[in-house]
A and B are shown apart, each in its own frame.
Chain A
Amino acid sequence: MIALLLGGLAVAIALSVAGLVLGIVAQNGDWSSFRVAIGPVVFFAFERSRNVTSTTFGSGVPLAALGGGLVNAVGAGFLRRRTG
């Protein structure tokens, strides 16, 4: 359970920082609107209108966090079995 939580937290923090940095870089670099997505699952969406820019976190971030947590839990289980 701890491994699931910590893995999820690690991925959530990493993706949140990545999204925020990407948004700021896109804003400063005058990038046009874009989305980071796998199929229908959106991670970040950067939108630029005439006067405003916005960065939105999509459902991909919590899903990736859950995935990261599961992978971490599986890894912890593997290590626990190996160390006895």
Chain B
Amino acid sequence: MIEPEDRVELAPGVVVDEDGVVDLVRRATVRANATALLLLAHANGCTIAQLGELLERAGADDGVRDARTFCAQLNRQLLVNVRMRRGEPLRRRLAAARFGVRLRAPRRRVDGRSTLKVMRALAPVGAALTLVTLPLAVLAGAWTLALAVGAGVVLHELAHAVALHGIPRALVLDGLRPSVLHPRLGSARTTVAAVAGPLVPSLTALGVIVLARSAALSCVPLAAHALGLTVLAPDGRNACGLS
């Protein structure tokens, strides 16, 4: 998915020092070799092609290939963000889909220090989910169902973020699947943070149904978040200390 014209930058909450890469959100230090440190030191908006040239000057045979591979790996570890031109991820996905290949867009780590920032980052995800589910909802005769799908995901992640107040956190956008990154916590705080996500939208659904009966059907997607409390879902497993 990553192309030479894409720009690479350190993810928010990640700094490079002489020992390696420090992830302030996860409170962890990742040891890195000299080449990795060289690349990360220049991950400040440079393109993959420019990083490739840098690697070639340091002795790599195919710098661009190495830079792409390396940046993809760092992106999987949520240490760097890869910025593409607007519309480019969709164009690349469509181009790959013609050959039956399913591409996965790079994950994006967003500064989550304030709840407002989390909400602003989640808003496009909520809007996209609403648009994606809109045709089905319209077919079902209740367009507000689509709105509830988008709002439910926003509410879910926002609840996680609020439950993690005072703790370093970052929002991770993996396509239309957002999640909240945070350091390892004590068992009680882990349970509270994990439970908040599924509980808030499902209790909101109950409240809305009681207050506005006409909106009952639209609340079903919100109520479905309750299933996230069980061990079938990652939040339920986290709450039970199973991960």
Contact = CB atoms under 8 A, between A and B. Distances in A.
A31 to B, nearest CB: 15
B209 A6 contact: no
B94 interface: no
A75 to B, nearest CB: 4
B231 A79 contact: yes
A6 B191 CA distance: 10
B230 A72 contact: yes
B227 interface: yes
Nearest to B226: A13
A6 B240 contact: yes
Contacts of A76: 231, 237, 240, 242
B242 A17 contact: no
Interface residues of A, number: 21
Contacts, number: 78
Contacts of A36: none
Contacts of B217: 21, 24-25
B204 to A, nearest CB: 11
B242 A7 contact: no
Contacts of A7: 229-231
Q: From DSSP, what is the main secondary structure of chain B's interface residues?
A: helix
A21 B203 contact: no
B206 A83 contact: no
Q: From DSSP, what is the main secondary structure of chain A's interface residues?
A: helix
Nearest to B224: A14
B216 A24 contact: yes
A38 interface: no
A25 B239 CA distance: 35
A43 B137 CA distance: 28
B205 A17 contact: yes
A2 interface: yes
A48 B213 CA distance: 17
Interface in B210-238: 210, 213, 216-217, 219-220, 223-224, 226-232, 236-237
Contacts of B195: 6
A14 B242 CA distance: 23
B209 A20 contact: yes
Which of B199, B209, B231, B232 gathers the greatest number of chain A CB atoms within 10 Å? B231
A14 B223 CA distance: 6
5 contacts: A9-B226, A10-B228, A76-B231, A76-B240, A76-B242
User: Sorted from nearest, which 4 A-B pairs have the closest CB atoms?
Assistant: A17-B223, A13-B226, A10-B229, A6-B229
Given A9-B226, A13-B206, A17-B220, 18 more contacts: A2-B191, A3-B231, A3-B236, A10-B202, A10-B226, A10-B229, A13-B223, A13-B226, A14-B224, A20-B216, A21-B209, A21-B220, A24-B209, A24-B216, A75-B230, A76-B231, A76-B237, A79-B242
Interface of A: 2-3, 6-7, 9-10, 13-14, 16-17, 20-21, 24-25, 68, 72, 75-76, 79-80, 83
